[in-house]
Amino acid sequence: MEALLKVSNLKTYFSTSSRQVKAVDGVDFEVKKGKVLCIVGESGSGKSMTSLSLMGLVPGPNGRIVEGEVMFDGEDLVKMDEKRLSDLRGNKMAMIFQEPMSALNPLFKIGEQIMEVLMRHRKLSRNEARSKAIAQLRSVGFPQPEMIISSYPHQLSGGMRQRVMIAMMMACEPKLLIADEPTTALDVTIQAQVLDLMRNLKHQTGTAIIFITHDLGVVAEMADDMAVMYAGQIVESGAADVVFDKPLHPYTLALMGSIPSITEDNERLITIPGTVPSAANFPVGCRFAERCSMARGSCHTSMPELRELSPGHFVRCALV
Ligand code: ADP
Ligand code: MG
């Protein structure tokens, strides 16, 4: 199937005079039209920096894309100027974050904020934008959208704000929606509702979604395709059913075998002995070797390539 987005050898580093943090270090993946790609990995593996890189939102001046290509709908986002990128954002591609409060302006009513997006990107009149905003809010499950549009962000719960963000982003019918841990801050029941909502919207609008999470349970529910990230790289990717059925990278195996421990906020934590190496000081060989029960000598000295072991199934491990 045709790719909407194709990321090749993407590298995003933070550099200061004293050190270099390789947040994203040679990432390859693609997103098919209308499909959900889940990117999963432990905290610090580079998931957020990957998504910010795609949106042209890497925090400068220290952070920047140093190498790679991001082909989106026929154009390379890495080479695109800021004006053109900001036209694309909220239009052909949109992003929702873990904490929607950060993306909503506390000083303006919800309705004004959704209408602003619609007037700017879809060139609707005020009246058209108002009707569309109401329709969008209804579509994300608010039975009385007229009440929501005249509310301020702080008057809504976290789950309601996240649904508002989804309504706002989907209003522009983007070709690609990037959702960076959109349900992590929500309690489990609300989380399930938001996931349902995103799945429905995907079916209705054909929007492709990059869904970032550290929760494999969420991947199992949402993903058509998945990519497992570790220490700034993809270590395994492919169709979600194939990867779940036959995980090949020792890290993926460890993730899938790891016992979920339920913490107070119901977050499923990944528990694999050892820690992710520092992005300021990666080892020369395989970045998982330190924690890998199968590692041999050569794993510590040479970095394995991401290889296609069966059609569409990629693995970065010398042992498989
Ligand atoms: P994830 O989203 O998977 O938890 P991130 O993409 O946020 O991971 O971070 C990847 C790496 O980049 C981490 O090592 C993190 O410390 C580093 N990093 C993130 N933001 C900055 C920054 N502004 N300056 C320097 N390093 C950063
Ligand atoms: Mg993150």
The domain boundary residue, chosen from 171, 202, 219: 171
Q: Is residue 97 part of a domain?
A: no
Question: Which ligand has an atom closest to residue 40 CA?
Answer: 1
Same domain, 7 and 83: yes
- pLDDT value for 188: 82
Name beta bridge partners: 162. Answer: none
Q: Is residue 98 part of a domain?
A: no
The model's pTM is: 0.91
The domain boundary residue, chosen from 171, 203, 218: 171
3-class DSSP state of 138: helix
Do residues 234 and 70 make contact, with C-beta atoms less than 8 angstroms apart?
A: no
**DSSP 8-state secondary structure symbol assigned to residue 129:** H
24 Cα nearest atom in ligand 1:
10
Number of domains in the chain: 2
Same domain, 24 and 110: no
Instruction: Give yes or no for residue 90 CB within 6 A of ligand 1.
Output: no
Q: Ligand 2: distance of its center to the CA of 123 in Å? A: 33
Q: Ligand 2: distance of its center to the CA of 46 in Å? A: 7
3-class DSSP state of 257: helix
Q: Is residue 232 part of a domain?
A: yes
Phi then psi for residue 232, to 5 deg, are 80, 5
- C-alpha 242/C-alpha 315 separation (Å) is 12
Q: Is residue 99 part of a domain?
A: no
Question: Which ligand has an atom closest to residue 16 CA?
Answer: 1
Do residues 132 and 168 make contact, with C-beta atoms less than 8 angstroms apart?
A: no
Same domain, 230 and 269: yes
Q: Is residue 188 part of a domain?
A: yes
Residue 319 has which token pair? 């042992």
pLDDT tens series, the chain, 320 aa: 779 999 999 999 999 999 999 999 999 999 999 999 999 998 899 999 999 999 999 998 999 999 999 999 999 999 999 999 988 987 899 998 877 667 789 999 999 999 998 998 888 999 999 999 999 999 888 999 999 999 999 999 988 998 899 888 888 889 999 999 988 877 888 888 888 888 888 888 899 999 999 889 899 999 999 999 999 999 999 999 999 999 999 999 988 886 454 444 444 555 678 888 999 999 999 999 999 989 999 999 999 999 999 999 999 999 99
Instruction: Give yes or no for residue 40 CB within 6 A of ligand 1.
Output: no
The domain boundary residue, chosen from 171, 205, 226: 171
Same domain, 78 and 158: no
| Number of residues that make up the chain | 320
Q: Is residue 207 part of a domain?
A: yes
Same domain, 198 and 167: no
Residue 206 has which token pair? 């054909």
Enclosing domain of residue 294: 3-92+175-315
CATH number where 74 lies: 3.40.50.300
